[in-house]
Chain A
């Protein structure tokens, strides 16, 4: 990976051309639209979230608005069991989803990287759910899990499960049901990224290993996996952040229910701000979520020694 970056560097210091072809301010003009958009609609909202986290701010109760110090944070950590419940659920959700997606995605990528008859059709079909939106995924799985006409009915015909159960409204099944629905869409993401990285494994390495009599498993363990390491670290991290933040699927599939069983922290924040209009408290929770994400990302990159092995 280090190599690729080195190769991709611009070939010559462009400054020598400046006098003839380039006014000095051109690069700034070029990044200006992007910079302005990001300042206005990412940086400014982030700062205002930090600001509101220290305020009592509720448009429906204006008489209480004002500086609150760290009250919101204290309340979250000491006095709000829902915060802890949703945080725990978020952690569980991210961990299980990313773990399973990586496992299946890696296996799928290795399989469709082989040469076999029907490979391109196989790839297209396997990757297809990736393009499907969270809401559409929910719609599809609502149809599948429906108690009268869903797949559960036909499974019950075959003796798996019982009639009349809706997997999404039963607290004992809703977690697995939501996990499977999200896996259906999430596995192809990993498969695509890993497949892309598999294209750059040097074939000489396998030949050498073959000559030395290494088994296919050993080749996978000592050649393929180390090569994929950086891609795996990066994609699991991006995916974990994405799974943590993404609310489309759970919002539409379970609405956080039944009985708050599948409410993630971001869902709770959305409810707090949109339904309860408690913007100050929601901002404090958002700040906590930021810090947790940042902290976990740094720890993860450290522990995995991202980019440390030069290849």
Chain B
């Protein structure tokens, strides 16, 4: 730190020896590690203020009594939560969202696991075309397919049933999940499976005993994304579910927001209810987030 400041203060003649002095600790990588502390903490703090104030704001509105303008949520009240949970039917929305989220998670993971295994372990005729279709589907916007999707689900008598939303969410989660999972499987040496066959396992048992345990981190990441994504997603539920008793949390939040006079306390409490499962999931998968991405997505 001190040498750095000295360098800055006295530029040309002194800087050369100080620079030399400044990179001792032989063999240790330090190029990006020796940034002055203030260059880390100052921008980080500023950004954290921007990130955290909105979270604080919603907590504040959810916990302080209606009409209060205090900047601390004191006295704490849970009236908004009670109101939104019972009167605004967030209890129902929560159940529906949970059902959609868990069903999407299971369907996405299972279907993507099967497909991902085929892509990772076999060479077959339509493989290239199939991969291409997976990549192209990334450009297909679900929002722009609302009308044909609506018609399909109407034909299948699925409008107003959570099944329609589960299918739609799964379909749009599948391509990326499958690419990720096939990359995870490729990272497991094929010889491990072959060894299990030699020991008398059939392909499925070998996969279950040898490969599946190694895929756990990857599957947890993929499954969590599927859950969180469908938990958060708004448009399909808005379009395919008309009945209030079928609706999901994002639709409920939108209803609160588009009311003529917005009940801010209820909105804040509803928002926190919406955030809780997501926060729990991300606290749980935090450590796999970075590694999962570098193993699968970006390197694809």
A interface residues with partner B (beta carbon < 8 Å): 1, 4-5, 8-15, 17, 20-22, 26-28, 30-31, 33-35, 37-38, 40-46, 48-49, 52, 104, 107-108, 110-116, 122, 124-129, 131-136, 138-144, 146, 149, 151, 154, 184, 192-193, 195-197, 199-200, 203, 206-207, 209-210, 213, 216, 219, 231, 234-235, 238, 241, 244-248, 251-252, 255, 266, 269-270, 273-274, 279, 282-283, 286, 289-290, 293-294, 297
Q: Is there an interface contact between A131 and B152, defined as CB atoms closer than 8 Å?
A: no
Chain A residues whose CB sits within 8 angstroms of the CB of B171 once the complex forms? 37-38, 41-42
Mark each residue of chain B from 161 to 197: 1 if its CB lies under 8 Å from any CB of chain A, else 0: 0000001101110110010000100110111001001
Given A45-B148, A136-B250, verify A114-B32 contact (CB < 8 Å).
Answer: yes
Nearest CB on A from B27, distance (A): 8
Query: Complex: how many Å from CA A8 to CA B244?
Result: 48
Q: Is there an interface contact between B143 and A135, defined as CB atoms closer than 8 Å?
A: no
Nearest CB on B from A238, distance (A): 7
Given A38-B175, A108-B47, A282-B147, verify A31-B118 contact (CB < 8 Å).
Answer: yes
Query: Complex: how many Å from CA A210 to CA B27?
Result: 11
Mark each residue of chain B from 109 to 151: 1 if its CB lies under 8 Å from any CB of chain A, else 0: 0011011011111111011001001000111111111111101
Chain B residues whose CB sits within 8 angstroms of the CB of A139 once the complex forms? 58, 253, 256-257, 267-268, 270-271, 274
Q: 18 interchain pairs (CB within 8 A)? A: A8-B299, A10-B120, A10-B186, A22-B122, A34-B174, A38-B174, A42-B171, A43-B133, A49-B145, A128-B282, A133-B232, A197-B294, A199-B294, A245-B144, A266-B141, A266-B143, A273-B146, A282-B147
Partner of B40, one of A35, A43, A111, A184: A111
- Which of B219-256 touch A at CB < 8 Å? 228, 231-235, 239, 250, 253-254, 256
Question: Number of contact residues on B: which range applies?
Answer: 35 or more
A45's nearest neighbour on chain B, judged by CB, is B148
Nearest CB on A from B38, distance (A): 11
Partner of A31, one of B58, B69, B130, B279: B130
Q: Is there an interface contact between B138 and A11, defined as CB atoms closer than 8 Å?
A: no
Chain B residues whose CB sits within 8 angstroms of the CB of A30 once the complex forms? 114-115, 117-118
Q: Is there an interface contact between A22 and B40, defined as CB atoms closer than 8 Å?
A: no
B290 CB within 8 Å of chain A: yes
Most buried by A among B44, B149, B152, B175: B44
B interface residues with partner A (beta carbon < 8 Å): 19, 23, 29-33, 35, 37, 40-41, 43-44, 47-48, 50-55, 57-58, 61, 69, 71, 111-112, 114-115, 117-124, 126-127, 130, 133, 137-149, 151-152, 167-168, 170-172, 174-175, 178, 183, 186-187, 189-191, 194, 197, 202-203, 228, 231-235, 239, 250, 253-254, 256-258, 262, 264, 267-268, 270-271, 274-275, 278-279, 281-282, 286, 289-291, 293-294, 297-300
Partner of A37, one of B58, B170, B271, B279: B170
A39's nearest neighbour on chain B, judged by CB, is B133
A230's nearest neighbour on chain B, judged by CB, is B298
Chain A residues whose CB sits within 8 angstroms of the CB of B262 once the complex forms? 142, 146
Q: Is there an interface contact between B275 and A132, defined as CB atoms closer than 8 Å?
A: yes
Given A26-B122, A143-B268, A206-B29, verify A184-B141 contact (CB < 8 Å).
Answer: no
A127's nearest neighbour on chain B, judged by CB, is B289
Nearest CB on B from A167, distance (A): 14
Chain A residues whose CB sits within 8 angstroms of the CB of B119 once the complex forms? 31
Given A38-B175, A111-B44, A192-B290, verify A213-B52 contact (CB < 8 Å).
Answer: no
